[in-house]
Amino acid sequence: GIQVEQSPPDLILQEGANSTLRCNFSDSVNNLQWFHQNPWGQLINLFYIPSGTKQNGRLSATTVATERYSLLYISSSQTTDSGVYFCAVLTTDSWGKLQFGAGTQVVVTP
């Protein structure tokens, strides 16, 4: 099956810093999503981005489908950005099965 690798596994940032999270995947995908998991466990949708670039406030994402990677940018980080960020992909031959990466644990310190 498809492999999804996220890097780095852990990231410690000072408030105000910028960062880039990476997601590599091993096959063609129909769908790529970025999520933020809050401390209570809920997955919050950040981006639905099978290709191209999107921005939402201090967050932006880029997916280069032909090279099989996606990047999530966090600018001017805040303590509320802390948590685990997941990348998940849906392959062309799969019904409803998102394949998740292992996540990047982000800690933003004041």
Partner 1 sequence: KAGVTQTPRYLIKTRGQQVTLSCSPISGHRSVSWYQQTPGQGLQFLFEYFSETQRNKGNFPGRFSGRQFSNSRSEMNVSTLELGDSALYLCASSFEAKSHEQYFGPGTRLTVT
Query: Could you list the residues that contact partner 1 (CB under 8 A)?
Result: 30-31, 33, 35, 40-43, 45, 48, 50, 86, 88, 90, 94-100, 102-103
Q: Which is nearer to partner 1, 45 or 56 (CB)?
A: 45
Q: Which is nearer to partner 1, 50 or 62 (CB)?
A: 50
CB of 49 to partner 1, least distance (A): 10
Contacting residues for 3 by C-beta, under 8 A, at least 6 apart: 25, 26
CB of 102 to partner 1, least distance (A): 6
Beta bridge partners of 34: 47, 87
Q: Which is nearer to partner 1, 69 or 100 (CB)?
A: 100
Cα 44 from Cα 50, distance rounded (Å): 17
Cα 15 from Cα 27, distance rounded (Å): 36
